[in-house]
Amino acid sequence: MSVFRSGLLVLTSPLSALSLRLVPILASAARLVQDTLYVHLQPGLSLTGSTQPRSTYVQATSEIYTLISKLYADADVHTHLDIRVLLTNILSQGTTPLALGSVQNLSQPPEVVLTDFETGDGGQSNPVKQRLERYATSCYSCRPNLTSVLLYPEYELEAIDGELSPQPDTSVTSEPLQSYSDVVVGGTFDRLHNGHKILLSMCCMLAEKRLLLGVSDKDLLETKILKELILPYEQRVAQLSEFLVDVKPSLQYEMIRLLDRFGPSISDPLLKCIVVSEETLKGGLAVNKKRIENGLAELAVHEISLANDAQHGKNEEEKISSSSLRHRLLGTLLRPPQVRETLWL
């Protein structure tokens, strides 16, 4: 049973093993946290020894992005959780590293800090927990009386000698991701879900200074499934803003109401890259065609894959999507009925 409203999960396993461990780790965390779960990646962090560990930078690579994508996809079964992978210590290629010494404010300060770090005796060691709590509070704003838990998930071993043995993925490399000063992305962003968060995470890792977001509204919503259930523009922007400022507060975020297919993507001379999905690739190519017509340089087009929805119903999309979420709202009470005292028969 979930006992904390918000939590911080510090992942310390090596990257080579972490992808196979995500499912049991998330299942363990989901039993303790009922709402917002922040995730901090610090592979190789040790919570033993005489010195207090500190946060260090992790290079933004395709390996890191693939891990973040899998984390969001694996977490989708835990529908009560609002997962947010923090990117403050994920260093983009063109960004000058600053000292990681200041405490980052979070919109939902954690009440508990969790970790996959394990001690030799498999217990809840007080010195280790104290180091974990100090580590968490040195990085992020946390609730007073922060609680700490060593999770000890039940891993399924897939190799000899009791070691997790991930199969190598030749498409994933440790080469740094190419980054750009100004990045643009567009979408409806209704009922912010884990598919959106994968897309936005890539945007944040590619952007060095500014992320421009075009948020669809009005005529662009007319062809959407169950358009009547799409949240108001202001509410969608508020959800976007809270998520983005939580995961990477160092970026400048600019949100534009998108009333046509292109918005400022075809007129802003500072833009360098557009992020698209498999579904919106044609739109990204159309943007470049318009930019050439307008005498502007083409944008680098960065395409990401769609995340599959393992729980999709018969009449729902196979990908994680807002339309599926709206479909699941059918037959539910969206708001309490209004009581009218003066009704005439």
Residue 174 located in a structural domain = no
Helices (H) and strands (E) in the chain, counts: 7, 12
Given a contact cutoff of 8 angstroms between Cβ atoms, the answer to whether 248 and 211 are in contact is: no
For residue range 112-145, what is the model confidence (pLDDT) as tens digits?
999 999 988 888 888 999 999 999 999 999 999 9
Residue 169 located in a structural domain = no
| pLDDT greater at residue 216 or residue 329 | 216
Given a contact cutoff of 8 angstroms between Cβ atoms, the answer to whether 41 and 70 are in contact is: no
Which residue, chain included where needed, has tokens 């991701």? 177
Claim to verify: residue 135 and residue 21 sit in the same structural domain: yes
H or E segment to which residue 322 belongs: helix 322-328
Residue 166 located in a structural domain = no
Residue 338 located in a structural domain = no
Q: State the pLDDT at residue 286.
A: 96
| SS3 assignment, position 141 | coil
Residue 344 located in a structural domain = no
Range 257-295 burial, b when 16+ CB lie within 10 A, else e = ebeeebbebbebeebbbbbbbeebeebbeebbeebeeee
Query: What percentage of the chain's residues is helix, strand, coil (to nearest 5)?
Result: 30, 20, 50
Distance CA 61, CA 286 (A): 28
For residue range 297-343, what is the model confidence (pLDDT) as tens digits?
999 999 998 766 566 556 656 555 555 544 555 556 666 777 666 65
Handedness of CA 132, 134, 139, 141 (dihedral sign): positive
Claim to verify: residue 237 and residue 191 sit in the same structural domain: yes
Burial of 113 (C-beta count, 10 Å sphere; 0-12/13-18/19+): buried
Claim to verify: residue 19 and residue 151 sit in the same structural domain: yes
Q: What global pTM score does this model have?
A: 0.87
Looking at 98, 125, 157, the residue that finishes a domain is 157
Angle (deg, nearest 10), helices 233-247 and 194-206? 50
188-210: average pLDDT:
95
Given a contact cutoff of 8 angstroms between Cβ atoms, the answer to whether 26 and 71 are in contact is: yes
For residue range 13-58, what is the model confidence (pLDDT) as tens digits?
999 899 999 999 999 999 999 999 999 999 999 999 888 899 999 9
CATH code, domain carrying 32: 3.40.50
Claim to verify: residue 148 and residue 192 sit in the same structural domain: no
Distance CA 299, CA 283 (A): 12
Q: How many domains does the chain have?
A: 2
Range 210-234 burial, b when 16+ CB lie within 10 A, else e = bbbbbbbbeebeeebeeeebbbebe
For residue range 217-274, what is the model confidence (pLDDT) as tens digits?
988 767 766 566 689 999 999 999 999 999 999 999 999 999 999 999 999 999 999 9
For residue range 83-92, what is the model confidence (pLDDT) as tens digits?
999 999 999 8
List of residues 6+ apart from 215 with CB closer than 8 A: 186, 187, 188, 189, 233, 236, 237, 240, 255, 256, 257, 258
Domain that includes residue 194, residue range: 180-309+317-323
- What would you report as the CA-atom Rg of the chain, rounded to the nearest whole angstrom? 22
62-87: average pLDDT:
95
Query: Cα angle vertex 168, ends 163, 172, to 5°?
Result: 130
